[in-house]
Amino acid sequence: MSRTDILTRYRRLRQISKHQHEAVLDIITADVLLDWARRLELTVGKTVVLENDTELTLPEDLAIYLPRRGHLHPLERYARLARFAPGSDEAIVLAAMRQAQFSLWRIERRHPTTGLILRDLLRDEEIWRIDEALAKSTPPGVAMAARLLQPESFAMTARIIVPILPDLMPRPDLMDEVLTRAPALKRRQEDDLARDPRFAIGIYRAAVATGARERVRFKHKRARFMWTDA
């Protein structure tokens, strides 16, 4: 495929992904989102307190990708409601969402056609990722935490990128914050650590704890904000 063909395909799947994330949020109650926000220490009582208007994507991500104990996974509920035709682009993206991987990633180099080659720092594997905004502004060597889905030979970001290097954040190293607050994670092997829901929760909680922007209050209701590649 040419660069134009790849980007056309990516933009099509990216738009479907955005729509499906929004659609899954529509079947998640405000109380569930509030509970995830509380676990990330983003609440005071029943008020969600944010340092910036993108932090709400953190509890939204957890509400979409992590099932509550005793409840059907939100993506499974959505799949049963949507009933996409097998082989359709919508079914392909939803299947990729259900197999999405959260990990730590480092930009290794640019892909020869378009996008970036990332290294999974926990599994020591490489993946081709397309993110037009990131490719324009981020140099090799930068590391981040993100949930990636792979609908084609390339991957793309689910919704959120969290930088993890100290030089990208004017606060203590985010990984130190994660392991200090959740020491049990230190005993997990790399692949198990990536799959452990507590790891993503810890990353997001640490991202909140190391933030330094002025707080803005939003009442207990769901809003939508995109952090990257909007």
pLDDT at residue 211 tops 70 = no
Evaluate whether residue 228 is within a structural domain: no
Are 110 and 116 in contact, with CB atoms under 8 Å apart?
Answer: yes
Are 82 and 23 in contact, with CB atoms under 8 Å apart?
Answer: yes
As a whole number, mean pLDDT of residues 140-144 equals 87
Evaluate whether residue 179 is within a structural domain: yes
Evaluate whether residue 223 is within a structural domain: no
pLDDT, residue 217, reads: 40
Q: List the strands of the sheet with 216-218, edge to edge.
A: 43-44, 47-50, 216-218
Q: What percent of the chain has pLDDT over 90?
A: 51
pLDDT, residue 24, reads: 97
Evaluate whether residue 225 is within a structural domain: no
Q: Which contiguous run of DSSP H or E holds residue 217?
A: strand 216-218
Are 63 and 32 in contact, with CB atoms under 8 Å apart?
Answer: yes
Smallest CA-to-CA distance from 92 within 16, 22, 21, 19 is with 16
Query: How many domains are contained in the chain?
Result: 1
Q: What is the mean pLDDT of the chain?
A: 83
Evaluate whether residue 230 is within a structural domain: no
pLDDT digits (tens, 9 = 90+) for 160-195: 888 875 444 434 466 777 777 777 776 677 777 888
Tell me how many degrees the CA angle 51-226-56 measures, rounded to the nearest 5.
40
pLDDT digits (tens, 9 = 90+) for 53-101: 778 899 999 999 998 888 899 999 999 999 999 999 999 999 999 999 9
Domain of residue 184: give its range: 3-218
Distance, CA of 210 to CA of 193 (rounded, Å): 21
pLDDT, residue 61, reads: 96
Evaluate whether residue 185 is within a structural domain: yes
Evaluate whether residue 227 is within a structural domain: no
As a whole number, mean pLDDT of residues 106-120 equals 94
Band of residue 105 on the pLDDT scale cut at 50, 70, 90: very high
pLDDT, residue 209, reads: 77
* Amino acid (1-letter code) at residue 165: L
Evaluate whether residue 101 is within a structural domain: yes
